[in-house]
Amino acid sequence: MAHNEFKSNVIQPLLTDLYEVTMAYSFWKDRKHDVRAVFDLFFRKNPFQGEFTVFAGLKDCLLYLESFRFSASDISYLKSKLPKNTEPEFFDYLASLTAKDVTVHAVEEGTIVFPKVPLVSLEGPLAVVQLLETTFLTLINFASLVTTNAARYRLAAPENVRLLEFGLRRAQGPDGGLSASKYAFTGGFDGTSNLLAGKIFDIPVSGTHAHSFVMTYSNVNQLNSRTLKNVHDGKEYDFVAACFEWRAKIANKLGIVESEANDGEIAAFIAYALAFPESFVALVDTYNVLRSGLLNFAAVAMALDQFGYHPIGIRIDSGDLAYLSKEAYKLFQQIANHFECPWFTSLHIIASNDLNEDTIHSLNDQGHKITSFAIGTHLVTCQKQPALGCVYKLTEINSQPCIKLSEDLDKVTIPGRKKVYRLYGQDGFAILDLLAKSNEKEPQVGDRILCRHPILESKRAFVIPSSVTCLLEKWWYNGEITRPLPTLVDIKNKVSKGLATLRPDMKRHLNPTPYKVSVTETLYEEMHSIWLENAPIGELS
Amino acid sequence: MAHNEFKSNVIQPLLTDLYEVTMAYSFWKDRKHDVRAVFDLFFRKNPFQGEFTVFAGLKDCLLYLESFRFSASDISYLKSKLPKNTEPEFFDYLASLTAKDVTVHAVEEGTIVFPKVPLVSLEGPLAVVQLLETTFLTLINFASLVTTNAARYRLAAPENVRLLEFGLRRAQGPDGGLSASKYAFTGGFDGTSNLLAGKIFDIPVSGTHAHSFVMTYSNVNQLNSRTLKNVHDGKEYDFVAACFEWRAKIANKLGIVESEANDGEIAAFIAYALAFPESFVALVDTYNVLRSGLLNFAAVAMALDQFGYHPIGIRIDSGDLAYLSKEAYKLFQQIANHFECPWFTSLHIIASNDLNEDTIHSLNDQGHKITSFAIGTHLVTCQKQPALGCVYKLTEINSQPCIKLSEDLDKVTIPGRKKVYRLYGQDGFAILDLLAKSNEKEPQVGDRILCRHPILESKRAFVIPSSVTCLLEKWWYNGEITRPLPTLVDIKNKVSKGLATLRPDMKRHLNPTPYKVSVTETLYEEMHSIWLENAPIGELS
């Protein structure tokens, strides 16, 4: 199924805060609803104590704009909730609204972004752009947060290790799970356990079996199917017997006590192997990884090999994952040596117990032998910081730039319509982002460009860029999406390429270096002059 | 719109993990898919460092059961994802599945629940109950977490203070926001800002205006509407002039410097009051609460009163909320005294800046004068703990009770089909929960009942209950919902009544006393005998 054939039915114009509608009414009543206004959507702080964020959710916003229209039942609901003396013509106005007169400039989905940079800039009739606020924030905040989280896991895990998202059951609602699967994939994950996400977004799906599966067998007599076709001669043979022969052989050769291995467990493994001879993965920790699970797995794996199939590997879901993965790998090596089957050392070792970014770093330090991490709760709920604080601020009204002041200097907004440039050095790494007034000349490669801190007068530097990109592009104009929408794989590649242009010290786990976002001299002057005009009377701030 | 007319279109049988389907195939292949199995859904630890949890999400699960059926496109997707040699008859089997042969016992939605107690117990064909696992967990985990979080906020806030959920923009996806609004309401919140939640679930909606609204006005000349009907004589008068007269009068009387008040702000307040004369609430912190916002609000409020309308109050969204609310209340008192308008002291003071359970406790300690808390991020994302760890464990197969052992004793499961009783003392408080085998005699009022810790032999006590309730009821049988589904208000009342039966020391914020969950002597014996049978060979555990 193609991506845009499916759309959650909760994404609709009423998925917003009441106050957007009351403000729209007040604007309409004061006949300023059609005044042109510009709102910037941005965040003030990178999540997860990091120094970068991945922008995501734009496609959802654009598809939302396409369908933005209050239904008759929405209007009648709003009539019932606004005061009785609300003028009826307002509801006719609401019913007539579309996003046709809105223009959206935005950063491309998957771009690495930083605080204060406008990610989306909406220009249009005041009431309409105000009405879009909450829905845009909802669609972008969580999407960007999960994508960033996934990208951080991707950076934390060794390059050759696969990352699987297994979080649906702990996600924040059904659609929280679906969004998490989607954006974990674009952020750098290789697959998901979530079938609906697989179907809708064409993401690879992955999974083994649960402890309960193993527990449904208590001994091998319960197996109803017992035979498997041998690939070599095409005939069915007793597969159970082959597994038990191998178990005795391996136990004997490696000095393992076979009687400690659980017979229900091997029965379950056999049943699973008979169903999936080509893709056998066994969960080995239902009873005891070292005394039972690994031996039972190895027996079934060797029997599969004998029958002409290639087993895939094991999953460990509890205990000391570094230690157990190393022990498993050691056993795989021994089997490879003793039975001359070198393929045994390339079997997968999947780990899946309550993993997070920190545990991955710790497992790396311990020299684990894990080949895939399956990550759930911490990834999908973004446990370390479950919300990104994107805000939506008025920056221009009726062609007048405006500023939101605050005693907290970090909260002062950068006024007016802007362009955003990313300046790169000779080494290919991004040096800084430069915000300029929209009518300023584009910074040129080789120019000596004064880049100023937006607030602090003394912080400034000249930069001579080796290349320059313009981050804000027009995505929505005259009621239409104006650029081809990227696929999820396009976005995924964009994330990975973008991260490669970020200096390693800015991506490191501990105390990363902040990336700089600056303004041009012209924008600095304009900002500070508006600031001065709006300085409060009677107090120093 | 009635509640069950709307159903998120992402709740469907593919909203599950791939491994549920691979296990189903393996069961089917081994001809054990129709073996009767019982799974219990429960959690092991209360969230938020608390000692209680509110159970929610059952209605969603039951509605899901009604519609549980793989579509043709689901089947063709699964065909494309399972190995090529998967037997085609399996897909016919999948396509034929419904939840008709499943029986669901569950605790009523809104019940206060505790670790290890089965919240839902599903009995049915092994493959079908296995397939339901992930979706049930997804629907219950987040619903119960948010309801519990909301209930904790309700306990933290003074009784007469209203609680409003304002979290949509920071929620985890559009449906994360919708679920949060719904379950915040049942947990004890009075309203939401989320219009879609208001429409679908008939929850009161609430909201004022944003800072951007205030910023769209820089002076009073920008007002296009200026007159308001005076209720007393039905005629239109200049409302702007009245507001400015009142501002001068109040400033003069109370010794406030009128020139420090922002004229754009009063213009915005006037515009909003003209749109909502009956329900005027002003956001007073765009410039400065004490030097501008309160005076401008008071002027407009007094003018509204003069015109025969009743203003509602103010919202403060930044700064020291305890201090500012007290200062606001002090000013309201002064105005009430000086202008003989006692109603001014009953105006609402709404606070809304990044509030959480701890800040509410702290604000209480500081004697705030806030009358409504509007809570966003921390409530909807459950920042303190963003996932509840409900699990879904096999407890019986083919009429044989089974146990999941673990080196972590807390993870050992309680085997078999069970009933759950809550025993109450004479004071009306719940004493403990008692898990019994399903065929045991129901504990009677006045009986001396031996209640045992499920694991620790030495922990046991006799309890003589003054009343007993049975917590697990049959909700789904023979393809139908067997009991009337509660409304959201029913659930909300259930939560509030349930909390009243929980001892205060178990609800307190700091170091609450744990509630006890015990087993009958018979269940204890059965559990420990199965445990012994399954004890591993060769190690002490």
- Min Cα distance B139 → chain A (Å) is 6
How many angstroms separate the CA atoms of A319 and A335, rounded? 23
B273 to chain A: nearest residue by CA? A26
Q: Which residues contact B512 (CB under 8 A, 6 or more apart)?
A: B50, B51, B52, B505, B506
B19 to chain A: nearest residue by CA? A207
In A206-290, where does DSSP find H-type helix? Answer: 211-215, 239-254, 263-275
Any idea which architecture B208-370 has in CATH? Alpha-Beta Barrel (3.20)
Chain A residue numbers with beta carbons less than 8 Å from the beta carbon of B271 are: 26-27, 29-30
Q: What is the 3-state secondary structure (H, E, C) of B346-392?
A: HCEEEECCCCCHHHHHHHHHCCCCCCEEEECHHHHCCCCCCCCCCEE
- Which strand (E) or helix (H) includes residue B432? strand B430-437
How many angstroms separate the CA atoms of A51 and A515, rounded? 7
Amino acid in the structure at residue B249? K
Strand-pairing partners, residue B237, are B228
How many angstroms separate the CA atoms of B383 and B381, rounded? 5
Chain A residue numbers with beta carbons less than 8 Å from the beta carbon of B23 are: 209-210, 213
Domain boundaries, chain A: 3-150+385-533, 208-370
A478 touches chain B (CB under 8 A): no
Chain A residue numbers with beta carbons less than 8 Å from the beta carbon of B388 are: 170
CATH of A3-150+385-533, one of 3.40.50.10490, 3.10.20.740, 3.90.1150.220, 3.20.140.10: 3.20.140.10
Chain B residue numbers with beta carbons less than 8 Å from the beta carbon of A262 are: 536
How many angstroms separate the CA atoms of A236 and A226, rounded? 10
Residue B404: which of A26, A215, A400 has the nearest Cβ? A215
Radius of gyration of chain B (CA): 29
Please identify among residues 213-232 of chain A the ones whose CB lies closer than 8 Å to any CB of chain B: 213, 215-216, 218, 222-225
Q: Which two tokens mark B244?
A: 């400015």
pLDDT digits (tens, 9 = 90+) for A338-372: 999 999 999 999 999 889 999 999 999 999 999 99
How many angstroms separate the CA atoms of B403 and A142, rounded? 39
Residue A168: which of B17, B216, B538 has the nearest Cβ? B17
B32 touches chain A (CB under 8 A): yes
Q: Which residues contact A418 (CB under 8 A, 6 or more apart)?
A: A40, A118, A121, A395, A435, A436, A437, A438, A472, A523
Per-residue pLDDT of chain B (541 residues; tens, 9 = 90+): 344 467 888 899 999 999 999 999 999 999 999 999 999 999 999 999 999 999 999 999 999 999 999 999 999 999 999 999 999 999 999 999 999 999 999 999 999 999 999 999 999 999 999 999 999 999 999 999 999 999 999 999 999 999 999 999 999 888 889 999 999 999 999 999 999 999 999 999 999 899 999 999 999 999 999 999 999 999 999 999 999 999 999 999 999 999 999 999 999 999 999 999 999 999 999 999 999 999 999 999 999 999 999 999 999 999 999 999 999 999 999 999 999 999 999 999 999 988 999 999 999 999 999 999 999 999 999 999 999 999 999 999 999 999 988 878 888 999 999 999 999 999 999 999 999 999 999 999 999 999 999 999 999 999 999 999 999 999 999 999 999 999 999 999 999 999 999 999 999 999 999 999 999 999 999 999 999 988 776 665 4
What pLDDT sits at residue B537?
Answer: 65
Contact yes or no for A193 and B8 at CB 8 A: no
What pLDDT sits at residue A539?
Answer: 60
Q: Which two tokens mark B513?
A: 């006393």
The reply to whether A208-370 shares the fold of A3-150+385-533 is no
Tell me which DSSP letter residue A259 carries: G
Residue A176: which of B176, B212, B225 has the nearest Cβ? B176
Residue A537: which of B210, B260, B537 has the nearest Cβ? B260
b/e burial code for range B355-390 (CB count within 10 A of at least 16 → b): bbbebbeebeeeebbbbbbbbbbbbbbbbbbbbbbb
B533 touches chain A (CB under 8 A): no
pLDDT digits (tens, 9 = 90+) for B176-227: 899 999 999 999 999 999 999 999 999 999 998 999 999 999 999 999 999 9
| Residue ranges for chain A with pLDDT beneath 50 | 1-4, 541
Q: Which two tokens mark A5?
A: 């054939």
Please identify among residues 307-326 of chain A the ones whose CB lies closer than 8 Å to any CB of chain B: 318
Phi then psi for residue B320, to 5 deg, are -80, 100
What pLDDT sits at residue B89?
Answer: 98
- Measure CA B363 to chain center: 22
B500 touches chain A (CB under 8 A): no
Please identify among residues 369-398 of chain B the ones whose CB lies closer than 8 Å to any CB of chain A: 377, 381-383, 386-390, 392-394, 397
- Measure CA A353 to chain center: 20
- Min Cα distance B57 → chain A (Å) is 10
Q: B181: closest CA among B367, B172, B531?
A: B172
Chain A residue numbers with beta carbons less than 8 Å from the beta carbon of B11 are: 174
Which residue reads 């669901």 in tokens? B104
Residue B253 near residue A529 (C-beta atoms within 8 A):
no
Strand-pairing partners, residue B163, are B373
Q: Which residues contact A450 (CB under 8 A, 6 or more apart)?
A: A460, A461, A462, A520, A521
Contact yes or no for A9 and B12 at CB 8 A: no
- Min Cα distance A427 → chain B (Å) is 38
Cα-based distances in Å from B74 to A25, B31, B48: 44, 23, 38
Contact yes or no for B193 and A78 at CB 8 A: no
**Three-state DSSP state, A228:** strand
- Min Cα distance B9 → chain A (Å) is 6
